[in-house]
Chains A and B, each alone.
Chain A
């Protein structure tokens, strides 16, 4: 279950907007949006602050089919405030997950692209993210697989980074980034010597897709291609893992081991070296297929 190969069809996931990602991931013509933009349900809080609003509050939710299977799907629009979560944005996502719990579809796809809580409505956004976390876990308890996809321009950070790791499984591209506090936030708060957010190579090897895959945080690393994301999502829908005490104990063991073996590392290269990769400094340069080949002898899977 380590490699996902796929022909490149040329539609970049990274460069697509939320609607384009949704419509090209799903079976053609199968997507039905819930709460359409013409209803103009946007953020009341942004309006009060005199900030630009969006007719969908930066997220599209709805239902469709993936390889014939019934799925619910949400796509965060990174272009609007970095995909940040406000009251309405969060409620659309929570409502979709509650629908999953009640309806029991074959799965939920979350196209995550977010900096986390929207600071213009920070309190409402924090509670909204908490509601999302609880509804993701409730859907999983109800037996519905929730699959996260990460490969957008803004990555997946803040509270949404926690949401991502609450999913059954994650698909990421090399361009995808995931974490809690974004590099810019750390640099601003802790200083440039702690994290130089302008050092792209450092950023990518710390929070980028390859590292996340190697340390077992995501199940699939794919090319930046919507078709590759689609193929991986189809595979993962067929492999649902309900939330169980046994799984959590296993995860606890894995996270404890990681802390023990890598806790004193300061750079991803040190960790890759500890894992037994012969020339760790070459990993960032490899394309996805070559990367999978280079790491398959040490890759231990994800929890």
Chain B
């Protein structure tokens, strides 16, 4: 599904979304409701310019359209790697983006992420993963690192990693693994507008991913450990 088809599917009542230097900004309508659209395209590597443009788009929605829900369309190969981005403090730019999204949430904007192509590491962390709900399309890629690279770095044989990844969702790429860990809430299929509409009617709440990871048996310690640290008497 290309981007145009995706937007048509999501917003049968119409949409105006522009793409400038891999950054998507615009809006669409679903069941009479106006939704802001912010995202990236072309497997964007998130560098400081893109991070700043995404943050500007978020601030713009907060300022001009108080409370308007934001659909975050995710397609990123990760953060841009380079000396110049590090020199300028790329981590601060990505943190700024995350803070702007948190501000939107605090001011009543629903944040819904949809991974429609690729979602990798730092680019995903500072944008898509900040949403109240993270969904994916089928046939998309969510990962930190592929297994051959992991085998090289950890010096664990690739065959062994492949074998262990059958039972463990903790390290191998894939939507199913992120689903089991609670990092992906659900996988959307057509008609997409119905999923979007349903998501928009739900209320934002606290971060429930560790609870999901426990219920789905992919991340059984995160929830109880965090709860203990949170509540234990000292």
Interface set of A (CB-CB < 8 Å, partner B) = 32, 34-35, 41, 44-45, 48-51, 61-63, 87-88, 90-92, 94-96, 98-99, 102, 117, 119-131, 133-135, 137-138, 141, 158-159, 161-166, 178-181, 183, 185-186, 189-190, 194-195, 206-207, 211-212, 215, 217, 243-245, 248-249, 251-252, 255-256, 258-259, 262-263, 265-268, 271
Contact = CB atoms under 8 A, between A and B. Distances in A.
Given A127-B209, A162-B126, A194 B82 contact: yes
A138 B206 CA distance: 9
Chain B at the A interface: mostly helix, strand, loop or mixed? helix
B103 A248 contact: yes
Interface residues of B, number: 76
A274 to B, nearest CB: 12
Given A117-B144, A125-B144, A179-B89, 14 more contacts: A88-B221, A91-B221, A91-B226, A92-B225, A122-B144, A123-B171, A130-B125, A165-B95, A181-B79, A181-B86, A206-B87, A217-B92, A259-B48, A266-B87
Q: Quick one: which of A34, A130, A212, A268 has the most chain B CB within 10 A?
A: A130
A124 B177 CA distance: 9
Contact of B125 (A51, A159, A178): A159
A263 B99 CA distance: 22
A2 B84 CA distance: 26
Interface string B93-134: 111101110110011000000000000011011100110000
B125 A131 contact: no
Given A245-B103, A259-B49, A49 B91 contact: no
A256 B169 CA distance: 39
Contact of A255 (B62, B96, B153, B228): B96
Chain A at the B interface: mostly helix, strand, loop or mixed? helix
Q: Quick one: which of B206, B222, B229, B231 has the most chain A CB within 10 A?
A: B229
A121 B170 contact: yes
B72 to A, nearest CB: 13
B225 A88 contact: yes
A74 B223 CA distance: 18
B229 to A, nearest CB: 3
